[in-house]
Each structure stands twice: as C-alpha cells, then as structure tokens.
Amino acid sequence: MGPILLLTLIIFLPTIGAIALLAVPKDNDEYLRIGALGVTVVTFVLTLFLLGDFNTDDPAIQPVFEVIQVDGATEPPDLKLLANYDLSEGKVMRDGQEVQVQRGITIPWIRTWNIEYKLGYDGISVPLLLLTSFISVLAMMASWSIKKMVRGYLILFLLLETGMLGVFLALDFFLFYVFWEVMLLPMYFLIGIWGGPRKEYAAIKFFLYTLLGSVLMLIAMLMFYFGSAAHSDQTSTFDLLELAVIAQNGLFDQQMQMIAFVLLFIGFAIKVPTFPFHTWLPDAHVEAPTPISMILAGVLLKMGGYGILRIAFPLCPFGAHWAAYTLVVIGAFSIIYGAFAAMAQTDFKRLVAYSSVSHMGYVIVGMAVWKLSVDTNALHHWQLGINGAMFQMIAHGVSSAGMFFIVGVIYDRVHHRDLNQFGGLSKLMPWYSGLAAGIFFAGLGLPGMCGFIGEIFVTLSAWNYSPLLAIIVAAGVILTAGYILWTIQRVFLGPEYRGPHAEEITPMNGREFTVAAVLLAFAIILGVYPPIMFDLMGGSIELLTETLQQGLENATDATSTAGLPGN
C-alpha cells in the first residue's frame, strides 16, 4: 500500500465507516456497534502498518520521496517513494549517493492560498497515532453501554476519530486547523446528547473553551502565513515544515515569535489543559458518557501537548524559550493544583478528571525545561524532559482511559459516583477491583507501570532548569499517592457497600474485563519496557531539540547583528 493511500485511509476510513453506517437501518443496534468496532479495529491495524513502515533511524518527517529531476525540465519533478536509504550527516543517501528528497505527502488542495493536503509522521506523531487508534478501539468496546440513538452516536464517534487522526498526521497548518475543528463538533454533540444531567452546560463549556483556543490559534496561524511570505522562496505558506525551517533560520522576528507563542500556547494549553484553563475538563468529563471520557482523557488532551511540540515550539523557538519559565511554573502549578483539587472531590469521575489536570502538568513541565546553555548536557536534560513528557502523554492516555472506564463500569451498575457511598467492592467485584487497583496504581506512578516513567523522567529533568520548581513538581508524588490511595480505600476497601442499588452490583462481563485488562496490560508493558516508546520517539525528539536550539540561537543572533531591541 502506498503511503498516500495508507495515510489517507487511516484518516478517512472512520468517515467512510460512518457513511456506511448511515446505510444500515436504525434499529440494528448490535450490528451497528459491531460494524463500528470493526472500523476502529481496521483503523488500528492500519496504524500498525504505519508503524511497520516507520523507519526509526530517520528522525525527520516520513514518508520520504526521492525527487527525480530531469535536467532543464520545467515540469514539476517526479516523486518516487524511497524505501531503502541511510542517513549520514543529515543527508539522505542511497547506494552511497546523496539523493534529493521531499518529506511527507504533498498534494495541492486550495491553490489560491497555497494550502496543501500535506501528511507525514515522525517519532512524535507515530506513538500518538497508535494511542489514538488503540484507545478508539477500546472506547468503542466500552460503547456497548450506550443505548440511546446508537447509530447517531457511532457516526459521531467515527467522525471524531477522523478528526483526531487527522490532527496527528497533518503537516499543513491549515489542514491541521481543519482537523482540529472537525474534532470539536462531534465532541460537542457526543457530550451534549449522550451526556449526564448537566450535559448541555458541559458541552457548551467545552465548546466555548476550545473554540477560544482555536481562535487564538487561527490568529497565530495567519500571522505565520503572512509572515512567511517574506522568507519563503515562493508565496505565503501554511506548510509547517517550511515554516519550521524559516523559524530555524531565525527569520521570524522576536516580537512576532513572542506574541505567536503566547497565542498558540494558550490555544493548546486549553486542550491540555493547564491550570488557569482547565475548568472545562471536570465538567466535560463528568457529563460525558464513559467511552467519550476515555477518548477525551486518552486522546484529546494529548493534542494540546502534540500541538505544542509540533507547532508552537518549532515555529517560535525564541518565543518558546522566552516563555519557558512561565510554562514550567504553569505546569508545576497544575500538578499541585490538580492533585489538591482531586483530593477534595466527592465525585469519583471528577476526581479522575482532576487527576488528569495534575498528570498533564508533567507534560508541560517536561516540554518546557529548556535551558540555554553551552553545556551540551543541558540539551540532554531537555531531551530527557521531552521524552518524559511524550511518554507521560502515552502513559496518561492508557491509565486515564482506564480510570474513566473503571468509573464507568461501576456507574453503569449503581448509577451514582459519590465516593462516600461506595466501599467493599473488592469483595463484590473481585476482578474489577483488582484491575482497578492496577490501573489506579499506574496513575499513581508506581514503578513497573506506565505512569512512573513519564513522571519520573520529567521530574528528573526539571532540576536542571529550576531547582525550586523541580521540588514543587516532585512534591506532586506525595499528593498523588494521597488522593489515589484514599480513593481506593473509599471505593474498593471496607466491610460493605454503603450506597444505593447494591443489588445491581454484578461482576464484570467479558467485554468490560477485556477492555480493562488490555489497558492494564499495556500499562504494565509500557512501564516495564519503556524503550518500545523511547525507541520510536527518541530520535525525533533529539532532532527537535537541536533544531530548536539552532532556531533560538539564530533568532538571538539576528537581534544582536541587526541591533533590534531584544529583551
């Protein structure tokens, strides 16, 4: 399968599936669900194909096409997929000869504004793609609990998946934006129609928050679009790779980088979410149906982090470095704040939601520990931080999806989430309690499980940046242990169940068991052997840090030579 077909299919297969579901008569709920599950499974398999195509030795964007230029020809050159090549000194070599390459799939889309259908993947996006399609399968398996308007639900779910996968594959800023928005609408309806009692409130809150972020991102996008005209050899461009090269050469001026970074960061931070922009999250999570909570926590939050790494940092290295301290402060504060807020919750799902705020704080900290230093080790620490942040995203995707699923399972039975009205579940639902404890331990950051690796690597990287903030970050481990253990005690332990609907508590069924067990298994695999992720993303992150360092130095040099006012 050619890369163009493969990537396009990955993105749009869920859409095709959604259209196909339209053709199925409404009342065949079971067939509809199985069909939708099939679509997500096939999508997952396709992403595995992608993983198979992925060349871990090449840190830059893939797929790589060889440009076959006929001498003197005016026509656009032919592109040929480059399967076997080796890299040395940043050059792409084949059979010992350097070849001219184009990275990523580029198909003109809206020629008037130079917008392209540009797709590609590297070590940063591949793990997230896998996570997305994987969590989608599990969330779809968890969707059997949805009984209302099943067909509409499944169609929106599949559209949502298209949006998510598109965001992780798009390399054109405009295309990225489109997918970003595509994701928003199904989510709005999924919360607003299939949600809990305050679903309208939660849906509109989610929508407005995210829309605000999108608007800020749009402004930044246009800034870069028009700002690129002076530096790009052609006209204005939305091409993220070209924009990144411009930024790497320090050609965006400092003022613009600072403004754009703030805009982009707020846009992405809302999605992450970090401290001042996080209040949509608890409401959205609490009201959303279980599978949608899984998607929200498992994938949507990761887009914020991905956006920062893919767009905000590469496009404004100077701005990023300028704002790094603020970012770390925000991240550290989110960790502590989220943990404190989680501790005070009496609603099970809300607690898990706040734990997401806390855990995603590590992501921001890990990305932002960028210390400008002549010592090469500083860059290594930053790499440690970004790797930790990326791993934390994956780990949180697995563990928080699991936690929300755990909450959903018990909610389906007893129809309440009041932490003070649980207890004794370990006796009534032994497997459930065992798996839940495992997943919660993964969230707690227990070694040997996924949460640990991300948190600890981020924490380790933080001291080099700021000892004070590092200590604050490290203090998060105490609070996390506090609220998670307290939760386990209140829900699973104790002599008896104290809430209503005690008679409806039944052991997990096979489907529920499968979802939870698979998530726990992955939590353990990732925690015991994290290289499966670091091998994928390490090279790309190393390249990213070096590129950004270069971009920062160039932007700083531009100021000193041109005599522009710096800060």
Residues that bind other proteins (CB under 8 A): 205, 276, 278-279, 282, 337, 340-345, 374-377, 379-381, 383-384, 387, 424, 426-427, 430-431, 441, 446-448, 452-453, 456-457, 459-460, 462-464, 467, 470-471, 474-475, 477-479, 481-482, 485-486, 489, 492-496, 498, 529-531, 534, 538, 542
- If the CB atoms of residues 30 and 375 are measured against other proteins, the closer one turns out to be 375
- Asked whether the beta carbons of 157 and 138 are under 8 A apart, the reply is no
- If the CB atoms of residues 254 and 459 are measured against other proteins, the closer one turns out to be 459
- Rounded-to-integer distance, Cα 126 and Cα 54, Å: 8
We find the least distance from the C-beta atom of residue 282 to other proteins, in angstroms, to be 7
Helix, strand or coil, per DSSP, at residue 80: strand
Torsion of CA 167, 169, 172, 178, to 10 degrees: -30
DSSP code, position 77? P
- If the CB atoms of residues 159 and 484 are measured against other proteins, the closer one turns out to be 484
We find the least distance from the C-beta atom of residue 476 to other proteins, in angstroms, to be 9
- If the CB atoms of residues 257 and 480 are measured against other proteins, the closer one turns out to be 480
- Rounded-to-integer distance, Cα 186 and Cα 270, Å: 18
We find the least distance from the C-beta atom of residue 555 to other proteins, in angstroms, to be 22
- Rounded-to-integer distance, Cα 427 and Cα 424, Å: 6
- Asked whether the beta carbons of 298 and 139 are under 8 A apart, the reply is yes
Q: Which residue has 């054109």 as its token pair?
A: 172
- If the CB atoms of residues 234 and 489 are measured against other proteins, the closer one turns out to be 489
Q: Which residues have C-beta within 8 Å of that of residue 334, sequence separation ≥ 6?
A: 274, 275, 278, 357, 358, 360, 361, 364
- Rounded-to-integer distance, Cα 301 and Cα 271, Å: 6
We find the least distance from the C-beta atom of residue 411 to other proteins, in angstroms, to be 21
- If the CB atoms of residues 282 and 298 are measured against other proteins, the closer one turns out to be 282
We find the least distance from the C-beta atom of residue 516 to other proteins, in angstroms, to be 15
We find the least distance from the C-beta atom of residue 78 to other proteins, in angstroms, to be 38
- If the CB atoms of residues 298 and 385 are measured against other proteins, the closer one turns out to be 385
Phi, psi of 293 (to 5 degrees): -60, -40
- If the CB atoms of residues 6 and 526 are measured against other proteins, the closer one turns out to be 526
Residue 166 structure tokens: 């598109």
Torsion of CA 394, 397, 402, 403, to 10 degrees: 120
For 320-336, b/e burial (b = at least 16 CB within 10 A) is bbbbbbebbbbbbbbbb
We find the least distance from the C-beta atom of residue 72 to other proteins, in angstroms, to be 34
We find the least distance from the C-beta atom of residue 468 to other proteins, in angstroms, to be 11
- Rounded-to-integer distance, Cα 465 and Cα 540, Å: 22
Q: Where are the alpha helices (DSSP H) in 228-316?
A: 240-248, 254-271, 280-287, 290-295, 301-307, 313-315
We find the least distance from the C-beta atom of residue 475 to other proteins, in angstroms, to be 6
- If the CB atoms of residues 136 and 459 are measured against other proteins, the closer one turns out to be 459
